[in-house]
Amino acid sequence: MNLPSNPIGIFDSGVGGLSVLREIRSLMPNEHIIYFGDQGHVPYGPRSMEQIQNFSEGITNFLLQHNAKIIVVACNTASAAALKYLREKFPDVQFVGMEPAVKPAAEKTQTKKVGVLATPATFQGALYASVVERFASDVEIFQNTCSGLVNQIEAGELDSEKTKKILDDALLPMLEKNIDTVVLGCTHYPFVIPLIEKIVGEKVRVIDPAPAVAKQVERLLEARGLRNSSNENGEVVFFTSGDVKSAENVVSKLINEKVEIKSVIWKNDFEIVSSID
């Protein structure tokens, strides 16, 4: 199989980054995309910073070998643990990362009470602490790691009883504290927005940073003269380090798009050896 030329490279621990991919697709449908879902290692949330840095470095090398012109770290956890590290290791590469959208939430909240849903590694990272300190000093923040939710979404369980319970347990206590805004600080979570909205009701605003990230990617490509000039629809190829069949099942549930799925194998924590046709 031929891979698309000069693609945008996107990665996540699994399928979460597809919430960013779909925004990039709708903004720039003619761009080719190669996506890496590290489903052999998902979830990243409970892992050590060092291990997430190693995985992120291996994936970056892989995407660069396939000529990625920009790399979108479509994972809050990998951004928290490894974005700074990647920028130091690959000074010539343009990276776009995620950070919990605490700034827009702090600007919009009326009650001055905001809920943030993200993984343990994201909450522990310096990036999150600095965003809260800079933008939300006058806001009360309620955090929850939604333990198990990433795995539910990886399994395509967007509306099951277990998924609902995880979200009820996270959100109902926040509602009691009078939050009026919820920040989705993990790229998997936009896939359960319908369920979140059912729980919090229409008076609570749910913030998904993916559209803003897609715009940032567009701005950077334009500024560097890297936009694809063809008007044809771009191709999307999805590499998984997990099981191809399961990836096919879940991807078809999450996005409305024909995506070719290919398998890759890790040699160790920081080197990907093969991709099987």
Contacts for 53 with CB less than 8 Å, ≥ 6 apart = 81, 82, 85, 86
Compare residues 43 and 228 and give the one whose CB is closer to ligand DGL. 43
Compare residues 99 and 180 and give the one whose CB is closer to ligand DGL. 99
According to CB under 6 A, which residues from 226 to 265 bind ligand DGL? none
Asked whether position 25 contacts ligand DGL by CB under 6 A, the answer is no
Among 54, 56, 60, 76, binds ligand DGL (CB under 6 A): 76
The distance of closest approach from Cβ of residue 133 to ligand DGL in the complex, given in angstroms and rounded to an integer, is 20
Is 146 catalytic? The answer is no
Longest dimension (CA), the chain: 54
Asked whether position 184 contacts ligand DGL by CB under 6 A, the answer is no
The distance of closest approach from Cβ of residue 113 to ligand DGL in the complex, given in angstroms and rounded to an integer, is 23
Q: Indicate the helix (H) or strand (E) that contains 11.
A: strand 8-12
Supply the DSSP symbol for 190.
G
Among 88, 84, 76, 85, CA closest to 19: 76
Asked whether position 192 contacts ligand DGL by CB under 6 A, the answer is no
C-alpha distance from residue 247 to each of 36, 84, 174, 260, 267 (Å): 11, 29, 33, 10, 20
The distance of closest approach from Cβ of residue 10 to ligand DGL in the complex, given in angstroms and rounded to an integer, is 11
Compute φ and ψ for 11, nearest 5 degrees.
-140, 160
Q: Which stretch binds ligand DGL (CB under 6 A): 11-19, 61-69, 200-208, 231-239?
A: 11-19
Does residue 114 contact residue 200 with C-beta atoms inside 8 Å? Answer: no
Compare residues 12 and 31 and give the one whose CB is closer to ligand DGL. 12
How far, in whole angstroms, is CA 46 from its chain's centroid? 16
Count residues near ligand DGL (CB under 6 A): 16
Asked whether position 12 contacts ligand DGL by CB under 6 A, the answer is yes
Q: Which stretch binds ligand DGL (CB under 6 A): 71-79, 84-92, 156-164, 205-213?
A: 71-79
Q: Which residues of 119-158 are buried (b: 16+ CB within 10 A; e: fewer)?
A: bbbbbebebbeebbeebbeebebbbbbbeebbbbbbebbb
Does residue 36 contact residue 11 with C-beta atoms inside 8 Å? Answer: yes
Asked whether position 53 contacts ligand DGL by CB under 6 A, the answer is no
Binding mask 119-138 for ligand DGL (x = CB under 6 A): x--x----------------
Q: Which stretch binds ligand DGL (CB under 6 A): 85-93, 159-167, 186-194, 228-236?
A: 186-194
> How big is the chain by its Cα radius of gyration, in Å?
18
CA distance 58 to 75: 15
Compare residues 12 and 180 and give the one whose CB is closer to ligand DGL. 12
Among 175, 188, 239, 255, binds ligand DGL (CB under 6 A): 188
Among 149, 102, 100, CA closest to 122: 100
Q: What residues are labeled active site?
A: 75, 186
Binding region for ligand DGL (CB under 6 A): 12-13, 16, 42-45, 75-77, 119, 122, 150, 186-188
